[in-house]
Amino acid sequence: MPEAGPTAVLPGRPLTVGELLDSAVLLLRGHATALLPLAAALAVGEQLLLLPLRAAADVNPPLWVTDFSELGPFWFLLVVGAASEAMIIMLLGNPATRAAGSALLGHRATARQLLRPAGARWGATALLCPLIGATMMLASLLGPAWFVGFALLGAVTPALVLDRVGPLRAVSRSATLALRVDGRAAALRVLGYLVWWIIRVGLGWGLFAGLSALGLFPTGWAVAVAMLVWAVVNAVAYAALACLDAVVHLETRIRTEGLDIHLSRAPDGVPRATLLAVRG
């Protein structure tokens, strides 16, 4: 196991909230070459998906807000956006989780290792992705229920990839882990989302306003430029949130299941996938 220290992604002990947020950023920084290109592709796809919905809701860049004269189309836009965010973070969680698992065991996975399909359970991740998206869409329709859904489903991909449980059990295990220690993991996921939401809004609006003030694009290109700006900002945020899900999951297992003790007592030569898998 790696030594504990200020530069350790996962030092193998219970962490404070600040340390967990730092760990997620360190994990993203260390594996940006694998995570950010994938995140960018997914973020661009999301912007293209939302483009006709924004036109139907009659919202304008850069913040895509409405005057609430036509609330129905705007609400549907928000619902689809919430579902797409959840699915993107879940997909990014696959390589992010494997990167976190390697870091906990004192290894540094390469970008090629993180993106290769062998042993990565991409099939199970893709199978569950529409289910998570539909769940978040339904929760978003109910307004505040979104917070509950988002808080409880953060560990679905880590449970699939590291714990090696089946798809259905991954959903229930995610909710179970989120509610342990008085809902600590659930609260951390919501906190992380809110922090990155503030960063996204600030950067997205600021970049668009700066480009507009400098006259770097004609008026007719406002929508395209706003889409590009939000794709860039969201790509970083989604990758960071996937990393946060991964480190929170492992830290919760250390805190509540004694994962650190299990790893310290494991004999030499045991495969990494076996070390991190849930027993029983």
Q: List, for residues 35-81, the tens digit of each pLDDT value.
A: 999 999 999 999 999 999 999 999 989 989 877 767 889 999 999 99
Structure tokens belonging to residue 79? 């619902």
pLDDT given for residue 220 in this prediction: 87
* CB-CB neighbours of 227 under 10 Å: 21
Q: Is the pLDDT confidence value at 278 over 90?
A: no
Q: What confidence tens digit (pLDDT) does each residue in 116-146 have?
A: 888 889 999 999 999 999 999 999 999 899 9
Handedness of CA 266, 271, 272, 278 (dihedral sign): negative
Q: Which residue shows structure tokens 């989780």?
A: 97
Q: Which residue shows structure tokens 């990839």?
A: 161
Q: Is the pLDDT confidence value at 32 over 60?
A: yes
Question: Is the preceding peptide bond at 130 cis, omega within 30 degrees of 0?
Answer: no
**Residues sharing a CB contact under 8 Å with residue 58, sequence separation 6 or more, in sequence order:** 66, 70, 73
Mean pLDDT of the chain: 92
Query: How big is the chain, counted in residues?
Result: 280
Q: Is 13 left (phi over 0), alpha (psi -120 to 50) or beta?
A: beta
More confident site: 120 or 1: 120
Quick one: which of 195, 181, 205 has its CA closest to 24?
195
Q: What angle do CA 63, 149, 145 make, to 5 degrees?
A: 75
Handedness of CA 192, 124, 53, 225 (dihedral sign): positive
Whether the Cβ atoms of residue 151 and residue 190 lie closer than 8 Å to each other? yes
pLDDT given for residue 8 in this prediction: 65
Question: What's the burial of 223, exposed, middle or buried (CB within 10 Å: 0-12/13-18/19+)?
Answer: middle
What pTM, to 2 d.p., does this model score?
Answer: 0.93
Q: What is the DSSP letter of 65?
A: B
